Amino acid sequence: MNSIWKSGIYGLIIGDATGVPVEFSTREEREKNPIKDMTGYGTYNQPEGTWSDDSSMALATLTSIKDKGKIDYKDIMDRFHDWCMYGEYTPFGEVFDIGIATSRAVMKYSNGAKPLESGGKTEWDNGNGSLMRILPVCLYLFEQQKSLNISDDEVIDMVHNCSALTHAHIRSKLACGIYYFLVRSVLRECGELTERLQIGIDNAFEYYGKNNENELGNYNRLISLSQFKNIPKELIKSTGYVVYTLEAAIWCLINTSSYKEAVLKAVNLGDDTDTIAAVTGGLAGLYYTYDKIPASWRAKVQKKDWIDSLLKA
């Protein structure tokens, strides 16, 4: 695996770890006492550099892709089960944060459901639990599309299926699909970050528009990033709802000029701090690169040697 993977995966993990100590804190609390560095303890009483379910599920997915050389839905779900039940892919062998929809999907799979029939399909199953872990899928499919010239239809179908393992409603699938187009544009295009992200948004809306996807309207605030950039912070929500998470991440990216600034802005929105910072951090890592992530933050990441071994070619 190349430097792109290292930049993106560490970007996600470090964003997650920076948000963990203050997850569920209010925006008012963060405004009074903003986070300025990677800290520890807090909400879950975990040491500095401890990452949560966002990174565990991303690393489980990464490990599956690396071991299988492809996207294998059953193997990914088996690894999610091992994470949920036995603490695999965690910093200390213990799961301390897991979403309701994700837990329900893993239990459904454990009781015999097929991988693609495990995720919830209702309006209430649109948390950010698939978006937060989709980056390894996006990176793998970006490389596959680049080398094998596979179609957008094939790529997005696999992205949607990977979402459906835990979150099968079309709104969650769309968030993951949009994220794929954002990842691709950050890696493929030239120019400033906002320009690249706008190309990704344009490509996503063009693709889903051709497919007459009615749910796309939920993401209409993102159509023009030059306008979205100027939306005041009080109109950016930072809960676990997948639409708000994607919006918050993009807002943080286009209103900052470094990895550190983007992640800290995400964390200081409050509420679902770890996931919003993870989603932000993945894209920020890809754009700014691993070397531009603060060295002190990189050094604090728990189980760094193991993560490095996963990211080796």
In this structure, what DSSP letter does residue 118 have? S
Please give the backbone phi and psi of residue 241, each rounded to the nearest 5 degrees, phi first: -65, 130
Confidence label for 211 from pLDDT (cuts 50, 70 and 90): confident
pLDDT number for residue 313: 62
How far apart, in whole angstroms, are the C-alpha atoms of residue 9 and residue 61?
11
Write out pLDDT tens, residues 79-88.
999 999 999 9
- Tokens 């950050």 correspond to 186
Write out pLDDT tens, residues 234-273.
999 999 999 999 999 999 999 999 999 999 999 999 999 9
How far apart, in whole angstroms, are the C-alpha atoms of residue 113 and residue 119?
10
101 has a pLDDT exceeding 70: yes
Residues placed in the known binding site for Mg(2+): 52-54, 272, 274-275
How far apart, in whole angstroms, are the C-alpha atoms of residue 186 and residue 168?
26
Is 88 exposed, middle or buried (CB count within 10 Å of its CB: 0-12, 13-18, 19+)? middle
Confidence label for 122 from pLDDT (cuts 50, 70 and 90): very high
Residues placed in the known binding site: 52-54, 272, 274-275
303 has a pLDDT exceeding 70: yes
Rounded to the nearest integer, the mean pLDDT of the chain is 96
- Tokens 């997850």 correspond to 23
Tokens of 72: 């294998």
Cα–Cα distances in angstroms (integers) from residue 201 to residues 13, 79, 96, 135, 163, in the given order? 24, 31, 34, 16, 19
pLDDT number for residue 215: 92
CA nearest neighbour of 202 among 173, 189, 214: 189
**What's the average model confidence in pLDDT over 22-40?**
96
The answer to whether 88 and 79 have CB atoms below 8 angstroms apart is: yes
Which amino acid type is present at position 62?
Answer: L
Helix (H), strand (E) at residue 172: helix 170-188
Helix (H), strand (E) at residue 246: helix 242-254
- Enumerate domains of the chain plus CATH numbers: 3-310 (1.10.4080.10)
- Percentage of residues of the chain with pLDDT beyond 70: 99
